[in-house]
């Protein structure tokens, strides 16, 4: 059974995904810049999940120990974190959830000159690591509640087998995963997050997501 390491796993999105996967019976590692904080978060998660499948480590140790590594850090920490973890990510799938939000205008699409965060990640990590983009449009608030609204997950990546692996991880978390084409298509999912933030603000919600219609899946 593959172990999932979540970099920045003490944040809302990272901890929510970790909880979903632990409840599904998958071993998870909570990564943080502070190993003690990661251990505390893992202990709390185990109580919520009703098992002992979560462990806490610093980000580098988590990246080294995981079979699949999920990046859930702010865009401002994206490049520095990837450069630190690059040696530990060789030969693995990195799932990049990063959205290039530029405070304070987070409800406005502001894609980087490189095209999107996922393409930046692939350029930094090189061919030794397979980058897949996913989970940008999932409400972090909804992850904490089993009966919360479920959004679909668009999974972009240049390797179809790696995409399928993350589609199945999406399904394990209780969300319907969809193949969404090559990694460059992450520009669309990353941009859509700012649209969802705007909708949340306009309609006073924090659960906005997306759903694909018109195709059997």
| CA 175 – CA 177 distance, rounded (Å) | 6
Q: What is the mean pLDDT of residues 179-202?
A: 97
Lowest mean pLDDT among 49-53, 109-113, 140-144, 165-169: 140-144
Coil, strand, or helix at residue 203? Answer: helix
Q: What is the mean pLDDT of residues 132-144?
A: 92
pTM here is 0.96
User: What letter would DSSP give residue 149?
Assistant: -
pLDDT of residue 206: 84
Domain boundaries, the chain: 4-203
Kindly state the helix (H) or strand (E) to which residue 29 belongs, with its residue range: strand 28-32
Class of domain 4-203: alpha beta
Contact 8, 156 (CB under 8 A): no
Write out pLDDT tens, residues 90-104: 999 999 999 999 999
């Amino acid at each position: 059974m593959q172990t999932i390491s979540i970099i920045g796993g003490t944040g809302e999105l990272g901890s929510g995904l970790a909880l979903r996967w632990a409840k599904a019976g998958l071993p998870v590692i909570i990564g943080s810049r502070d190993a003690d904080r990661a251990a505390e978060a893992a202990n709390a998660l185990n109580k919520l999940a009703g098992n002992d499948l979560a462990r806490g480590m610093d980000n580098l140790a988590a990246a080294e120990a995981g079979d699949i590594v999920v990046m859930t850090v702010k865009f401002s920490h994206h490049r520095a974190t990837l450069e630190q973890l690059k040696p530990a990510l060789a030969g693995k799938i990195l799932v990049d959830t990063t959205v290039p939000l530029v405070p304070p205008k987070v409800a406005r699409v502001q894609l980087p000159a490189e095209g999107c965060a996922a393409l930046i990640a692939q350029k930094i990590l090189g061919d030794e690591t397979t980058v897949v983009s996913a989970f940008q449009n999932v409400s972090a608030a909804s992850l904490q509640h089993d009966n919360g609204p479920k959004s679909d997950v668009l999974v972009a990546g240049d390797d179809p087998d790696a995409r399928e692996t993350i589609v199945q991880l999406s399904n394990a978390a209780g969300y319907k995963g969809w193949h969404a084409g090559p990694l460059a298509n992450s520009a669309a999912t990353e941009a859509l997050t700012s649209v969802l933030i705007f909708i949340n603000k306009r309609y006073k919600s924090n659960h906005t997501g997306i759903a694909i219609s018109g195709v059997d899946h």
